[in-house]
A and B are shown apart, each in its own frame.
Chain A
C-alpha cells in the first residue's frame, strides 16, 4: 500500500477516475463543481482592494466574485500542498526554473523563461475569465455535467493550444 504513495507516476486512468470521484464529493459536500480559475480573480480582487478599497468595491466583476479567502481560493493553495506531498513522497521534488523541453529549444536563460511564463500566464488569466472557466472548471467539471458551453470551451482550449504550440515547436509529424 505504502509503495503506491511513493511511486513517481500513476496511470492516467487511475488519476482521472480519482478526480472523478473527488468531484462527486465536491458536489455532495460543498455543492460546487471543481474549478481553479475563480481563485485567481479573487486574488486579483484582493490586490485591487489593497490598492484602493473603494475602487475594488465599485468594480462589477468583484461584486460577482467577492475577493475573499473561501472554498475556491483555498482549493488552489491545497493543490500546491498536495502536489508537494506527492513529489516529496516519490522523491521527485526538485527546484527547476527552465523546463527541459523549453531549454532544448530556447536555451537555459531563466529570465527569458520567466518573461515567457509571465506573458503566457497573463493571456491565460484573461482567457479563463473571458470563457468563464479553465481546464478543470469547464474541461472536467462542466463537461461531466454535459454543459454545452463547457464542451465548446474545452475544444477551443485545445484548438488554440495546439495551434500555438505548433507555432512554437513545430509538429513532429509534419
Chain B
C-alpha cells in the first residue's frame, strides 16, 4: 500500500495524532457538545445536538471509508462484541455519561474550554480504566466472553452486501435527521 511508510513511521504518527486531535477538539468545541448542559440535554431528550453531530459524522465517514475500502486504500478495524462485554460495559458507560456529563473525547474538549469539573472527570476516567485493567483477567475469564455476537458487522449479520447496507443506513440517517428537524428538536 502507498501509505505503509507513513503509517509505520512512529514519529510522524505522533505528529499526526496531535494534529487530528486538535482538529477534533476544535470541531467538538464549535458544536457545543463539550458543554455539560448540551450532553445532559441530549440524555434528557430536550437537545439533539449530540445525535445530530454523531449521525452526520457516521453518514459522511461511512460513505468515504467504504469508498476507500472498495478502492483498496484503507483497512477496516472492528472487533466482535458480546452481551457480557458490549451490553454490560455499554450500560455502565451510559451511567457514567449521565453522572459526569461528558464523554472521554468531549471531556478533554471541555477542559480546553475551561471546565474544571471536566479535568476531575478525566482523572476519574483514568482511575476507572485502571480499575478495569486490574479486574481484567478475572472479568475476561468470567463475563466478557459470555454471549458472543454471531457476526462482526451488520452486513455479515443480515447477509447483505456492504454497499447495500451503506446505502440503507445513509437513507435511514437522512430520514432520522429530517424527522428531528420536522419535530423541531
Interchain nearest-CB distance for A9 vs B (Å): 5
Q: Is the CB of A161 within 8 A of B53?
A: no
Q: Is the CB of B24 within 8 A of A44?
A: no
A115 to B169, CA, bound (A): 40
Nearest B residue to A67 via CB reads B133
Interchain nearest-CB distance for A97 vs B (Å): 4
Nearest A residue to B75 via CB reads A31
B171 at the interface (CB under 8 A from A): no
Q: Interface residues of B, CB < 8 Å — how many? A: 123
Which residues from 131 to 174 on chain A have a C-beta closer than 8 Å to any C-beta of chain B?
Answer: 131-132, 134-136, 138-166, 168-169, 171-173
- Number of A-B pairs, beta carbon distance below 8 Å: 527
B175 at the interface (CB under 8 A from A): no
A20 to B24, CA, bound (A): 10
Q: Given A40-B129, A83-B109, A130-B88, are A78 and B19 neighbors across the interface (CB < 8 Å)?
A: yes
Interchain nearest-CB distance for B22 vs A (Å): 4
Interchain nearest-CB distance for B132 vs A (Å): 4
A134 to B103, CA, bound (A): 7
Chain A contact residues, CB within 8 Å of chain B: 7, 9-10, 12-34, 36-37, 39-41, 43-45, 47-48, 59-62, 69-87, 90, 92-102, 110, 113-114, 116-132, 134-136, 138-166, 168-169, 171-173
